[in-house]
Structure 1
């Protein structure tokens, strides 16, 4: 829960200082606009001024005069007259003032010699006019341009102050939209432009920046919040007529941040005590109200009576219509729940909900309409209320399994789902959307526990599918910022671009063949920083089973240990024994006993999540004593979700050619050569007519130009999806970043990424695994075969060769890869048979067949063979004669 502090203004005894500064600034500005900044205008301009009528009514005459100056190339008077005209009319028409000021600015830049002071004045006015118009970004550009010229008439100090105020205004707008990432960014930009003497502005800006970081809830942002609060505190002592009670607000703000950070709680108590000693000297009821609430909230886990006492004191300082009461009741509800008073907690939550929606609830409402959710203020806090309500009910379930309580949780999760859908329509930053998805993941995982207790497979399926779709929301905006202006490069693949608009597939619409099963996993934390819970749904043509993976801390540890074993070949018999033991333990954890008998000899589609994405199921061990891999019993494919699977199936590709192989072989910088890579891609080109870009031809530019024209793209190169800043794929001349990949249009039925860990990446809470494979899907690919670790060059060449043979003979992609891996296993033993060599490549997405359109190279070879036979025949015939 967010703990909000005092309002933005500092105590009333600082107001006089602030007003005095404003009066001085306005006086200087007025003087400058009427006297100091006056520029020499033409006599014709003065003549028009002397004519009767307002300036705005004589624009036609001024326009003719300016046109005359322009025709004569009299840039001095064109600049001065246009500038002066803008000054005369800006109060009546800002847009026209900006227009004429721009004419003057362009003309002044052509005067020889340039008068830098006059140019500086015009740029300053660009800032001034746009700031009045609240076009703050344009205002900042004007003021910054003004700063590039030598100071005259004390412009620089005013420019810098106005830049700071403009950035702060932008930040405040983002705060009003609850978009705290962009707000923080703009407050940060404001700070360097604040003059050291402007103490009130400095204090306010650092306080506001601290509050924004506080709202972001992360560990690093919490530390930054404290840093800014301490900076603000350090300036208080320098204020004229400073009194100790002036620090009341900052004391409890710092205390609240220590509390929220969850570290050094003794310091939180220290600052609360400092504030408590000053409360009787403070006349600001708004601040007293917030202080008592935050003080009460500080006791929520350790002392129920103290927490309740101070929160109720806070209520006394708020009237019935005060929006802050929603937060107070929410705090009381959370405190009651933590101490086992579940009914009291629910009553407080209902009071908070009543305050939010403007109607009284004595019992939990059966429905909350989307219209009611839309009208609610502070929707993020409302989502927090929904989540904490669900937590309260979840605690009740731990005491007593009650189906009616489970139904309450499921219904509240659906209301949360509606609320977030409304919130995501706003133009929030990518990171702010991540914050919402983070909260919603907590909601879904609480709902899944309720579904598990009631064996509600249908709703559980929806929550899992929706969670996976919502992980991708925000990608569209990020991609749009990276694409070129050519509309043909814009991505149309709807699921990855705007999954919030996609209709989630219903469980009843899932159709599976009798030889096919699906296992859909979800892992998420109930609270940030806690051990994630994990659930799965098993689906076949005649069975639907919801299951829970218990002891997920062990699951996470075992996945990490298993990955370490996969990252290298077996060296000793002990290595082998350790592997098969751990592989069997993971198999039993991930595929529970009640469904193990259902998967025999069937194709399994895995819809992974979280750390489950880090391992290939082919390498799991179903029977400990047999030392056999799951791939020997099952064909296995992977996908993101069944909703994505449905959308992916609909998409038609339009590439005209079959195969494009990319093999740089040698690379720029320190990347090692891949000597087998050219041979690897040539195996595909032998069976599918196409083109190979190897050596110096394997450039980023050539890939961008040709990628859209081929059904199969095979990249045998280096890559790194674990780069936390921007994952990349290496070409001969440079690295292609994932952000650039988003702008490339791909029509491929299949992309083979024979490179290092292209399916792995940074695991972001609330977002899933950020992988290069996902970037290719976002660009238009139907299927991607990535690698889960650094591949072995020689083994990969062997497997991909067999894969293309199988694929060209009509096998599905997953079947073709499985047979290629089994062929490798059958022809290798001991260390060479380690999963390290064969298990890295997996099939994600559509597994349909890809038959060669026309095996041109094969027919050439056959033709050449026939010609050679004919030549040999006639040569031998002549020789025999």
Structure 2
């Protein structure tokens, strides 16, 4: 009763104060009266009442203090609830700009401002704002607000497909929610973590997490948890559990939005049960429950998917889904695609990408049905937009796991794109998508390196320091006690926020930095023919899809594109590599090996009909030694190496990159530990130091670090300045994701990830005389993450690397001969070919294990030119004479 009387009194007071449009304040009472009114006026009052108070506050010139900030907060929330997003943002924007707000009110205003920015699709601003909320709230130990901001930030990361980052921030939010004893904040963050795990396809972990929540609360807590749990079990094909949860949720959550989403999940369940008619009914029923464009778009995507055997029907649904996200795309016109300028404003970009990919696939299938070329034209138009969409999403992803996930996810799109180009007989366009399908992250890393070179030295160093610090903190974040992890994450957020602000300022103040960092130009087929290939040289690029293998052969005068059968190829290649990497084979195994080498030649190279003497192979995934292929299955020593030289590349774009002039550099640095620290468990390499000594005689101005001088620190401190680097050592490259590749020095090991913090190298050729430096984890859609690739990311254009555990004596001999032929001015691929041929002509061991494990990766440019040697020697001699002359003149003056 007392509460009701107080409420009536307050209402009467409010009415008196606001009579005649706020005339009570026209007399400009003391500021305390305004502050009192803010504290007493109920949030349920009308927007007009609050606007009157704000107007009078300004009219009377009252200081805009914390009470005014609370007024703006409340008014902003009222506008938001009323659906006026623009006015809501205006209030919060004014609030966060007020000087000297108390920390609690400031972080509250910033949090609401960030949330409202999300609602207005201003995601980049929202990310920056929420990071500030997290940083400030941690400083003042506002634990619940940290948890709330982390959940919003994780939502943004999930929405743009950066699932790894979403999981990281959701974990942090869960931690702070527990500190604040806020179960609601913990659950919201848990939702975002599960969504991120689903995105990363870590379904068992996501299921375990959801079950722990369900068990702890004796059933699903809210519609979002139910939906996520159902989605997980559907993807795991655990249909009875999904059906059980769905039935319970439909009975529990009866509001229209929940019902719509649950019927969408029911449609997916029917699809898995092989009941497309029931699935379609469930999807159509879902559409009747809600109007949210994002949700409707995904339902239309599902409707199109279950009608994939009827491409015309599927296309109608996909186009409607696109229309939900981009209203200008008319639902009844297949030619209506989003314009480039519209892509950034789409909230759920992964939904639009999915619909565009599905549309391309349906257009491809429709062409197969009708052979009507208009569908190829429509497909090509949609492919162009989808490719732009992929680029925009790629640039927004920060976590490596998310980047690799999307490289894998977009793989099927590039197969469709290449197939459409193949049908159109458009080799130039096909080549573009061959290039876009590989080594994109390597190109991005090289772009960053080139961009940093456009900065003054102190800014480039600052950028590098930020990157190193963040990577170190990311490694430390899961270590130590909860308090230590929390402190590390706080530090990581602070540094990340500072780095992002720093990068944004660089992009504005240094246009060339921005230009190089986001350079996305794919070399044209014509530029490859004109600028890359010699007269006797051919580039062969491969794409391994789900349906077929595509091969594109390019010479200076012609282009050949073939669609080749894929059946059994992987097994043949694996067995061939196994024989290649074996030192001793039985007679039967040799016969099998010969047949496999011949079959690979017939399947991969012969169909292209190219007769070039030199081949550049742009592989798709694992590299095969083409020089060990055979022209016949039974003739001895009938290897391709006898008539062809082979080099390999990550992409044609890697070879055509504009590399900055290196200027004067030291010439040759060789390292040979020969023996290793006991803790490394590596066998000695006897003979490596002697071989390095002999190599010294074939190069100019050599420097060598041998035995205990060949340390990891010495390498990292000195190697970047040398034109040629040579390492006689051991390496490990796991074929799984369990361990990353490592390179051993006398005292310790260098991990592949450590190269990311190394300075850019001026090196032109790196020779890795170690085992398996060219192999590693094959990241589908991106390539093999090997040691040689790690060095390529530092700007080294050429590497001699290994495909298996090479035999020491053979390697020493081959490498010595390679330097001998290199010193004669030969291109690197021809120098290696001659070294291998010399082995076959002079040694008893003829199996590829001994001579084919070394490959040349990258540029094949000669490092020595016979014509230039006299000039170089003359210049050097002249400098010596000048130096002697100056010394003699000084000596005479002192006599």
What TM-score bracket applies, with the shorter chain setting the length? 0.7 to 0.9
Counterpart for residue 727 of structure 1: 741
For residue 395 of structure 1, what is the aligned residue in structure 2?
365
Are residues 814 and 545 of structure 1, via their aligned partners in 2, closer, same or farther at CA, if it must alter by over 3 Å?
A: same
Any conservation in 1 of the 2:452–2:460 contact (CA below 8 Å)?
no
Partner of 2:17: none
1:137 Cα deviation from its structure 2 partner:
6.2
RMSD, aligned α-carbons: 3.8
CA distance in 2, matches of 1:266, 1:478: 49
Post-superposition offset of 1:471: 4.6
Report what 2:695 is aligned to.
Answer: 684
Q: Who is 1:870 aligned against?
A: none
Contact map agreement 2:337 2:382 (CA 8 A) in 1:
no
The corresponding residue for 1:350 is: 319
Q: Hey, what's the Cα distance between the residues in 2 that align with 1:357 and 1:744? A: 44
Q: Is the 8 A contact 1:471 1:766 kept in 2?
A: no
Indicate yes or no: 2:472 matched with 1:458. no
Q: 1:667 to 1:481 in 2, by over 3 A?
A: farther
SS at match of 2:544: strand
In 2, the alpha carbon distance for the partners of 1:697 and 1:245 equals 63
Residue number in structure 1 paired with 2:542: 521
- Structure 1 CA distance for aligned equivalents of residues 577 and 642 of structure 2: 20
Q: For 1:144-155, what aligned pairs fall within 5 Å after superposition?
A: none
Q: C-alpha displacement at 1:473, in angstroms?
A: 5.8
Shift of 1:637: 1.3
Distance 2:288 2:641 in 1: 67
Structure 1: gaps spanning 5 or more residues = 1-52, 58-90, 102-123, 147-157, 238-243, 526-531, 860-881
TM-score by length of structure 2 reads 0.72
**Does the CA contact (< 8 Å) of 1:209 and 1:228 recur in 2?**
no
In 1, the alpha carbon distance for the partners of 2:348 and 2:765 equals 45
The alpha-carbon distance between structure 1 residues 55 and 395, as it changes in their structure 2 partners (threshold 3 A), is closer
Who is 2:728 aligned against?
716
Match of 2:168, SS state, is helix
Match of 1:266 in 2: 240
1:844 aligns with 2:815: no
Deviation (angstroms), 1:453: 2.9
Match of 1:200 among 168, 174, 184: 184
Paired residue for 2:310, among 341, 352, 377?
341
Contact 2:451 2:516 in 1 (8 A): no
Which moved further from structure 2: 174-183 or 414-423? 174-183
Once the two structures are TM-superposed, the CA of residue 428 in structure 1 deviates from its matched residue by 3.8
**Aligned equivalent of 1:507:** 525
User: Is 1:699 aligned with 2:682?
Assistant: no
Residue 734 (structure 1) shift: 1.5
Q: By how many angstroms is 1:807 displaced?
A: 0.8
Residues 685, 790 of structure 1: alpha-carbon distance in 2 compared, 3 angstrom cutoff? same
**How far apart, in 2, do the equivalents of 1:543 and 1:662 lie?**
44
Question: Normalising by the residue count of structure 1, what TM-score does the alignment of the two structures yield?
Answer: 0.73
State how 1:427-826 maps to structure 2 within 5 Å. Answer: 428-472=398-442, 475=445, 487=460, 501-509=519-527, 510-511=529-530, 512-525=533-546, 533-552=548-567, 554-593=568-607, 595-596=608-609, 598-599=610-611, 602-611=613-622, 613=623, 615-627=624-636, 628-647=638-657, 650-668=659-677, 669=679, 670-689=681-700, 690-722=702-734, 724=737, 725-742=739-756, 743-826=758-841
In structure 2, do the counterparts of structure 1 residues 765 and 95 end up closer, same or farther at CA, with 3 Å as the change threshold? farther
Query: In the TM superposition, what is the alpha-carbon distance from 1:585 to its structure 2 partner?
Result: 1.1
**Offset of residue 706 of structure 1:** 2.1
2:843 to 797, 812, 828: 828
Residues 675 and 746 in structure 2, CA contact (< 8 A), matched pair in contact too: yes
**Equivalents in 1 of 2:320, 2:411: separation in Å?**
25
Deviations 1:21-52 (A, max 9, x none): xxxxxxxxxxxxxxxxxxxxxxxxxxxxxxxx
Q: Kindly tell me: are residues 133 and 774 of structure 1, through their superposed partners in 2, closer, same or farther at Cα, counting changes over 3 Å?
A: same
Gaps of 5+ in 2: 1-61, 67-94, 115-128, 465-509, 875-895
Distance 1:481 1:208, change over 3 A: farther
Q: What's the offset of the Cα at 1:305?
A: 1.4
Q: 1:791 to 1:127 in 2, by over 3 A?
A: farther
What CA distance in whole angstroms lies between the structure 1 residues aligned with 2:187 and 2:665? 63
Q: Is the 8 A contact 1:470 1:499 kept in 2?
A: no
2-side partners of 1:456 and 1:389: how far apart? 21
SS of the aligned residue for 2:599 comes to: helix
Could you tell me whether the CA contact under 8 Å between 1:655 and 1:708 is conserved in 2? no
Q: Matched residues in 2 for 1:130 and 1:384: separation?
A: 33
Corresponding residue number in structure 2 for 1:24: none
Quick check: 2:447–2:519 contact (8 Å CA) kept in 1? no
- Residue of 197, 200, 219 corresponding to 1:213: 197
Pairwise CA distance, 1:329: 1.4
Question: Which secondary structure state, in structure 2, belongs to the residue aligned with residue 753 of structure 1?
Answer: strand
Residues 258-337 of structure 1 aligned to structure 2 (within 5 Å): 258-261=233-236, 263-276=237-250, 278=251, 282-300=253-271, 302-319=274-291, 322-337=293-308
